Structure 1
Amino acid sequence: MRATPRDAATSEHLHPIHRADLPSGTIALARFLIGKVLVREDGASFLTGRIVETEAYPPGDDAAHHRSGRTARNASLFLAHGHVYVYRAYGTAMMLNVSSEADGVGGGVLIRAAEPLSGIDVMRARRGTDDIRRLARGPGCLAQAFDIGFALDGDAYGAGNALWFADDRSKPPRIARSVRIGITRNADKPWRFFVRGSPFVSGPAKLNRA
């Protein structure tokens, strides 16, 4: 696997979003992150992707991991907004989430899909496919492409850390919303946000026409 080092050409157009500038509130954060750039640094590689799909899991949501209160496993969801929460779904796929409420209040945003921007060769090697549309389309694929694991759980998000968000001042996307995917509780809530018309968005076509 070929590493992709950070250099001026890759990062000079990225403007870090400070944690204090992230909106506090799950629905607001889920919408805010659409179109922003996800940055993953691990010393050997510098990967970026434009976030094109998120889902909100706010306080009081029966579909959320925090619904039964704080535990050792979901504790990161109860940290102040802007902390990383990682869990394994279906026994195999890692999922990247960001805490989204005040300290002590459970809430999180699931990062569901991204359009790869840099470090694409590394992502292709990790995912075992050359199809750029499949590298980070769906939360499990995104986590594999960006090497998201339990080691990141509980980390404070921020520039200079292993995971952070940036604004590259690109044209604002057309944001649409729909019900969430793959859940049975609160399945009617329109808490999924995505870039309308993006080929990198996951989910069924009928939802993506919303």
Structure 2
Amino acid sequence: MAQNRTPDAPRLGKPLKRALFGRSVHAVAPDLIGATLLVNGVGGIIVELEAYHHTDPAAHSFNGPTPRNMVMFGPPGFSYVYRSYGIHWCVNFVCEKEGSASAVLIRALQPTHGIAAMRRRRGLHDERSLCSGPGKLCEALGITIKQSALPLDVPPFALHARTGKIEVITGVRIGITKAVDFPWRYGLKGSKFLSKPFPD
């Protein structure tokens, strides 16, 4: 997929395996900042995400399993895709251990691969707006319910470790009404591709 890279795209790091996700959601979250997420070769650098633990009132799994969230109760390293407000798809990565029902919500990417496809799907040109929100990035990467409950280390998904040093910042999560004071939003310091700036 190298032909889809932007000219200044960083080289891809080593592929990440499902075993990475079998840890605390708060250990996985900072490790994913700076990693590259690709779906059928289209994607970019993860610059923002949020952690959701099964004991967290804001987590979909807080009240137990349902047909929608069942994948969260399965093994780690799988995708959990849901529709937000009946409009936008959002993608999460299941973490911890089977039955834990914890996950990270991918909130924003820096586009690096397949930008032409992203622009076509989103109907806009500005790179900073292509993936600056969970619904936007799913539309840009072509993620729908069809990509739910799939392993994250085999196609169509690919995850690659970051290749350089970064600084991860944290803050409260966005757009929720419960556990609003939890500092469980993680981001890449200085990124212009965030869905919303972090407070200074």
Is the shorter-chain TM-score for this pair beyond 0.5, marking a shared fold? yes
Q: Residue 136 in 1 paired to residue 134 in 2? A: no
2:188 equivalent among 186, 195, 199? 195
Matched ranges for 1:54-203 at <5 A: 54-158=49-153, 160-169=154-163, 171-203=164-196
- Secondary structure at 1:81's aligned position in 2? coil
| 1:3 paired residue number | none
User: CA 1:124/1:153 → structure 2, altered by over 3 Å: closer, same or farther?
Assistant: same
- In 2, are the aligned partners of 1:78 and 1:101 still within 8 Å (CA)? no
- In 1, are the aligned partners of 2:49 and 2:185 still within 8 Å (CA)? yes
- Secondary structure at 2:128's aligned position in 1? helix
| Structure-1 separation of matches of 2:116 and 2:3 | 19
The alpha-carbon deviation at position 28 of structure 1 amounts to 1.3
| Structure-2 separation of matches of 1:168 and 1:106 | 26
Q: Residue 15 in 1 paired to residue 28 in 2? A: no
Partner amino acid, structure 2, of 1:110: L
The alpha-carbon deviation at position 168 of structure 1 amounts to 4.9
The alpha-carbon deviation at position 141 of structure 1 amounts to 0.4
| Structure-2 separation of matches of 1:85 and 1:121 | 26
The alpha-carbon deviation at position 134 of structure 1 amounts to 0.2
Of the structure 1 ranges 131-140 and 148-157, higher mean CA displacement relative to structure 2 is found in 148-157
| Structure-2 separation of matches of 1:7 and 1:191 | 33
Q: Residue 28 in 1 paired to residue 27 in 2? A: yes
- Secondary structure at 1:99's aligned position in 2? strand
The alpha-carbon deviation at position 12 of structure 1 amounts to 7.2
- Secondary structure at 1:15's aligned position in 2? coil
Give me the CA root mean square deviation. 1.8
Amino-acid identity (%) = 36
The alpha-carbon deviation at position 30 of structure 1 amounts to 1.4
Q: Which has the higher contact order (CA 8 A, sep 6+)?
A: 2
Partner amino acid, structure 2, of 1:27: H
Unaligned runs of 5+ in 1: 1-5
- In 1, are the aligned partners of 2:20 and 2:28 still within 8 Å (CA)? no
Partner amino acid, structure 2, of 1:165: L
TM-score, normalised via structure 1 length: 0.88
CA deviations on 1:112-133 (whole Å, 9 max, x unpaired) are 0000001001001111110000
CA deviations on 1:55-105 (whole Å, 9 max, x unpaired) are 000120000100111111101111121110000001110001010121111
The alpha-carbon deviation at position 164 of structure 1 amounts to 2.2
User: CA 1:27/1:150 → structure 2, altered by over 3 Å: closer, same or farther?
Assistant: same
